[in-house]
Amino acid sequence: EFLGPAAPGHVEDLGRQLHDLGVGGFSHIGRTEELVAYVDAGVPANLTNDRGDSLVMLAAYHGHADAVRALLERGADADRINDRGQTPLAGAAFKGDTEVVKALLRGGADPDAGAPSAVDTARMFARTELLELFGAN
Protein backbone atom coordinates (compact mmCIF):
# COMPACT_ATOMS: atom_id res chain seq x y z
CA GLU A 1 0.00 0.00 0.00
CA PHE A 2 1.28 3.46 -0.88
CA LEU A 3 2.04 5.40 2.28
CA GLY A 4 1.86 8.95 0.98
CA PRO A 5 4.61 11.56 1.23
CA ALA A 6 7.53 10.68 3.47
CA ALA A 7 8.10 12.83 6.52
CA PRO A 8 10.92 15.38 6.37
CA GLY A 9 14.25 13.65 6.89
CA HIS A 10 13.05 10.35 5.51
CA VAL A 11 14.33 10.60 1.96
CA GLU A 12 15.24 6.90 1.88
CA ASP A 13 11.62 6.02 2.69
CA LEU A 14 10.44 8.31 -0.08
CA GLY A 15 12.87 6.71 -2.54
CA ARG A 16 11.72 3.24 -1.52
CA GLN A 17 8.07 4.22 -1.95
CA LEU A 18 8.69 5.69 -5.38
CA HIS A 19 10.61 2.65 -6.53
CA ASP A 20 7.91 0.40 -5.10
CA LEU A 21 5.53 2.29 -7.37
CA GLY A 22 7.89 1.65 -10.27
CA VAL A 23 8.12 -2.07 -9.61
CA GLY A 24 4.47 -2.99 -9.52
CA GLY A 25 2.22 -0.18 -8.48
CA PHE A 26 1.50 1.34 -11.88
CA SER A 27 -1.01 -1.37 -12.68
CA HIS A 28 -3.28 0.03 -9.96
CA ILE A 29 -5.55 2.94 -10.84
CA GLY A 30 -3.94 6.27 -10.02
CA ARG A 31 -0.41 5.06 -9.39
CA THR A 32 1.07 6.94 -12.33
CA GLU A 33 -0.66 10.06 -11.10
CA GLU A 34 0.76 9.55 -7.60
CA LEU A 35 4.27 9.12 -8.99
CA VAL A 36 4.14 12.21 -11.16
CA ALA A 37 2.65 14.19 -8.28
CA TYR A 38 5.90 13.54 -6.40
CA VAL A 39 7.97 14.56 -9.42
CA ASP A 40 5.85 17.67 -9.87
CA ALA A 41 6.47 18.46 -6.19
CA GLY A 42 10.24 18.32 -6.65
CA VAL A 43 11.38 14.70 -6.53
CA PRO A 44 14.04 14.25 -9.24
CA ALA A 45 12.62 12.65 -12.38
CA ASN A 46 15.95 10.79 -12.66
CA LEU A 47 15.86 9.33 -9.15
CA THR A 48 17.66 5.97 -9.08
CA ASN A 49 17.79 3.05 -6.70
CA ASP A 50 20.92 1.37 -5.34
CA ARG A 51 21.38 -0.51 -8.66
CA GLY A 52 21.19 2.63 -10.76
CA ASP A 53 17.71 1.80 -12.05
CA SER A 54 15.82 5.01 -12.72
CA LEU A 55 12.09 5.43 -12.38
CA VAL A 56 11.91 5.35 -16.19
CA MET A 57 13.89 2.07 -16.25
CA LEU A 58 11.53 0.45 -13.76
CA ALA A 59 8.42 1.73 -15.51
CA ALA A 60 9.76 0.63 -18.91
CA TYR A 61 10.83 -2.81 -17.76
CA HIS A 62 7.48 -3.45 -16.13
CA GLY A 63 5.46 -2.30 -19.14
CA HIS A 64 4.01 0.97 -17.86
CA ALA A 65 4.02 3.15 -20.98
CA ASP A 66 1.85 5.86 -19.42
CA ALA A 67 4.31 6.28 -16.56
CA VAL A 68 7.24 6.30 -19.01
CA ARG A 69 5.59 9.07 -21.03
CA ALA A 70 4.72 11.09 -17.92
CA LEU A 71 8.25 10.85 -16.52
CA LEU A 72 9.82 11.81 -19.85
CA GLU A 73 7.49 14.79 -20.11
CA ARG A 74 8.86 15.88 -16.73
CA GLY A 75 12.49 15.76 -17.81
CA ALA A 76 13.54 12.19 -17.06
CA ASP A 77 16.47 10.94 -19.14
CA ALA A 78 15.28 8.35 -21.66
CA ASP A 79 18.81 6.93 -21.92
CA ARG A 80 19.78 6.81 -18.23
CA ILE A 81 22.11 3.81 -17.97
CA ASN A 82 21.93 1.63 -14.86
CA ASP A 83 24.90 0.07 -13.05
CA ARG A 84 24.88 -2.87 -15.49
CA GLY A 85 25.14 -0.61 -18.54
CA GLN A 86 21.50 -1.11 -19.55
CA THR A 87 19.07 1.53 -20.79
CA PRO A 88 15.29 1.63 -20.39
CA LEU A 89 14.96 1.02 -24.13
CA ALA A 90 17.05 -2.15 -23.91
CA GLY A 91 14.86 -3.32 -21.03
CA ALA A 92 11.72 -2.69 -23.07
CA ALA A 93 13.28 -4.47 -26.07
CA PHE A 94 14.11 -7.46 -23.85
CA LYS A 95 10.48 -7.59 -22.73
CA GLY A 96 9.25 -7.04 -26.31
CA ASP A 97 6.96 -4.20 -25.24
CA THR A 98 6.27 -2.21 -28.40
CA GLU A 99 4.17 0.46 -26.67
CA VAL A 100 6.94 1.25 -24.17
CA VAL A 101 9.55 1.18 -26.94
CA LYS A 102 7.55 3.72 -28.94
CA ALA A 103 7.13 5.95 -25.87
CA LEU A 104 10.87 5.87 -25.22
CA LEU A 105 11.74 6.57 -28.85
CA ARG A 106 9.33 9.53 -28.88
CA GLY A 107 11.11 10.70 -25.72
CA GLY A 108 14.47 10.69 -27.48
CA ALA A 109 15.88 7.30 -26.49
CA ASP A 110 18.91 6.14 -28.50
CA PRO A 111 18.59 2.51 -29.70
CA ASP A 112 22.39 2.23 -29.82
CA ALA A 113 23.04 3.39 -26.22
CA GLY A 114 24.07 0.97 -23.50
CA ALA A 115 25.57 -2.49 -23.49
CA PRO A 116 23.86 -4.44 -24.76
CA SER A 117 22.02 -1.76 -26.68
CA ALA A 118 18.34 -2.00 -27.54
CA VAL A 119 19.36 -2.91 -31.09
CA ASP A 120 21.61 -5.71 -29.81
CA THR A 121 18.85 -6.93 -27.51
CA ALA A 122 16.25 -6.93 -30.28
CA ARG A 123 18.64 -8.87 -32.52
CA MET A 124 19.41 -11.35 -29.74
CA PHE A 125 15.70 -12.14 -29.29
CA ALA A 126 14.77 -11.85 -33.00
CA ARG A 127 12.37 -8.97 -32.37
CA THR A 128 12.20 -7.84 -35.98
CA GLU A 129 9.31 -5.43 -35.36
CA LEU A 130 11.50 -3.56 -32.88
CA LEU A 131 14.49 -3.57 -35.22
CA GLU A 132 12.25 -1.88 -37.79
CA LEU A 133 11.28 0.78 -35.23
CA PHE A 134 14.96 1.30 -34.48
CA GLY A 135 15.80 1.62 -38.18
CA ALA A 136 18.25 -1.28 -37.85
CA ASN A 137 18.75 -4.24 -40.15
Query: Domains, the chain, ranges and CATH?
Result: 11-134 (1.25.40.20)
Region 34-60 average pLDDT: 86
pLDDT value at residue 23: 45
Q: Bigger pLDDT: 45 or 35?
A: 45
Q: Record the pTM.
A: 0.80
Q: What is the pLDDT of residues 3-26, one digit of tens each?
A: 344 444 444 555 566 556 554 444
Burial of 79 (0-12, 13-18, 19+ CB in 10 A): buried
